[in-house]
Amino acid sequence: MVTPFEERVLKERAKLRGSVEAFKKRVEESGRGPRSKQILLKTIQYESTGHLDFSLFPCPPVIDHGKGARLVDVDGNEYIDLHSGFTVDSLGHANEEVNSAIKAQMDKLNHYAELPVEPRAELARILAEHHPGNFEKKVMWAVTGGEAVEIAIKLARWYTGKQIIITHWGDYHGRTAGAMGLTSKAFMMAYCYPIPPMDTAVVRIPFPYCYRCPFGKEYPSCDLFCADQFETMFKSKETWLNNPKAEITNVAAMLIEPFQSSAGYIMAPLPYLKRVKEIAEKYDYLFISDEVQNGMGRTGRLWAIEHADVAPDLITIAKSLSNGLPLSAVTGRQEIMDSWGPGAHSSTFTAYPPACAGGIKVFEIYDRDHILEQAAEKGAYFLSGIEELSKRHPSIGHFNGLGLYLAIELVVDRKTKEPAGEAAGWALSELVKSGVICIHSGYYYNRLCFAPPLVIEKTEIDQALQVLDQVLGKMEQKFNITSE
Ligand SMILES: Cc1ncc(COP(=O)(O)O)c(C=O)c1O
């Protein structure tokens, strides 16, 4: 017998299930070339429906090779990459110098788990020295971004002896069992069923998404009302966070993406970041900046949080650290890093030596080729192109960008701000068909996000903007989005 409870749960879960038949149909109707279709069908046949590719794109492209900011699929179609494989390939695809450093280390010693090697020690020195703030710093290694986040949380709780982690609505911190408890996506909760999220000591507060302020205010006249509201939670014993009379706080850390990546490249106002760091200091808990996606120079500074002149206690780093090989790290205050003992965390492929050799080369190139300045300058150029587009495209309700971290928010009507989610999904497919790869995201599925390799050429930015111009024009016609 199926109870009403079971029936309801099964119905809800069915909505989240990927359908092999639906994926096949999407492939058949996609217009992709024959080789791509063959590989996509093999993927569908042998890989779990739980992968992300058919969620990111109606029908994902099948990439064969790349160079710089250019990609070529298995049928020979060319693309401008405005995505960098989720900001992994910041120095461009097939970067010869980074690849040579990786290959040289592979030929010398590929891996020997858990023993120190020279490139690991050297990259630890470089990372420690690049953590902002006037204090001693150290590094803890990991493999993925999610693992780095889990280390940071484990360490923050160990060091403070407290439980609660504060995150924001829209934050993405990974999909492993631990990180899932920190990530704010409704469907994450469904994937925890029938076991509740592992981490129940997580308090989520609204993110300063100023275009759609959760408090109905306008920035900057709001005077950071949201931060004041948050601080109110520490002034009463009734909010779980704090006992003002006994001067006890139960909070271990705030974990924050300074700019929310998976939620659609939404940027907190810099004074907000400064303010929440001050609140962390006042109530004596740690401040952790999750820079897995917007770190490593993406925004024109090495760490996004540096724009707010904030020195976090811990930073989580991954993605483009080795320009393509899996490598992640937590950097932070020495006294925190040295508060636990040998073996407190371990993972076999941690600090994979070729990835560390690649990371050293990445930092060398950043210095030599002024990559941060390039990101800032090309980002400003890209942003001014978007601003031009916004003058003739009524669908662009809002846009933002810092360095090569940019997004546009599509709306049906600028006055009502009604999100144009369906139109944005259609635009993404058209962009890919027209040779531009980017990401479609947002609280309401209505943002297009751009994160090209930091070495993209201005002529490639021009080309991408031209395609975007045409696609937005077609989209506005199809979805009847006018300036009236
Ligand atoms: C901000 C942020 N944190 C953590 C993660 C998780 O990293 P990974 O996918 O390497 O586990 C991501 C991944 O996109 C991310 O963007």
pLDDT tens digits for 41-87?
999 999 998 888 888 898 999 999 999 999 999 999 999 999 999 99
pLDDT value at position 194? 60
Nearest to 375 by CA among 303, 305, 437: 303
From the CB of 363, is ligand 1 less than 6 Å away?
A: no
pLDDT value at position 50? 85
Residue from 51, 53, 90, 173 to probe ligand 1 pocket by mutation (most atoms less than 8 Å from CB): 173
From the CB of 262, is ligand 1 less than 6 Å away?
A: yes
pLDDT value at position 46? 95
Q: Which residue, judged by its Cα, is nearest atom 16 of ligand 1?
A: 293
From the CB of 290, is ligand 1 less than 6 Å away?
A: yes
Q: Which residue, judged by its Cα, is nearest atom 3 of ligand 1?
A: 173
Give the residue-averaged pLDDT of 382-399.
Answer: 98
Provide the 10 A C-beta neighbour count for residue 50.
10
pLDDT at 401 over 70: yes
In ligand 1, the atom with minimum distance to the C-alpha of 174 is 6
Nearest to 312 by CA among 276, 286, 279, 343: 286
From the CB of 185, is ligand 1 less than 6 Å away?
A: no
pLDDT value at position 450? 98
pLDDT at 19 over 90: no
pLDDT value at position 396? 98
Distance 361 CA to ligand 1 centre (A): 23
From the CB of 318, is ligand 1 less than 6 Å away?
A: yes
User: Measured between alpha carbons, how far is 51 from 24 in angstroms, rounded to an integer?
Assistant: 15
From the CB of 145, is ligand 1 less than 6 Å away?
A: yes
User: Measured between alpha carbons, how far is 229 from 205 in angstroms, rounded to an integer?
Assistant: 10
**Residue whose structure tokens are 């710089």:** 68
pLDDT at 228 over 70: yes
Long-range contacts of 73-79 (CB under 8 A, 24+ apart): 73/32, 73/33, 73/36, 74/33, 74/35, 74/36, 74/39, 75/32, 75/33, 75/34, 75/35, 75/36, 76/33, 77/33, 77/435, 78/435, 79/432, 79/435, 79/436, 79/437
* The pair of three-digit structure tokens given for residue 342, joined into one six-digit string: 């040998």
Give the residue-averaged pLDDT of 412-417.
Answer: 97
pLDDT at 345 over 90: yes
Distance 245 CA to ligand 1 centre (A): 38
pLDDT at 296 over 70: yes
Distance 180 CA to ligand 1 centre (A): 11
In ligand 1, the atom with minimum distance to the C-alpha of 144 is 10
Distance 1 CA to ligand 1 centre (A): 41
pLDDT value at position 190? 64
Distance 256 CA to ligand 1 centre (A): 12
The pLDDT mean for the chain works out to 95
pLDDT at 210 over 70: yes
From the CB of 355, is ligand 1 less than 6 Å away?
A: no
pLDDT value at position 10? 81
Kindly state the percentage of the chain with pLDDT values over 70. 98
Q: What is the DSSP letter of 51?
A: S
Residue 108 pLDDT grade (very low, low, confident, very high; cuts 50, 70, 90): very high
Please state whether the peptide bond connecting residue 194 to the residue before it is cis, i.e. omega within 30 degrees of 0: yes
pLDDT at 355 over 90: yes
From the CB of 149, is ligand 1 less than 6 Å away?
A: yes
Give the residue-averaged pLDDT of 10-15.
Answer: 81
Read off the pLDDT of residues 416-473 as tens digits, 9 standing for 90 and up. Answer: 999 999 999 999 999 999 999 999 999 999 999 999 999 999 999 999 999 999 999 9
From the CB of 257, is ligand 1 less than 6 Å away?
A: yes
Provide the 10 A C-beta neighbour count for residue 164.
20
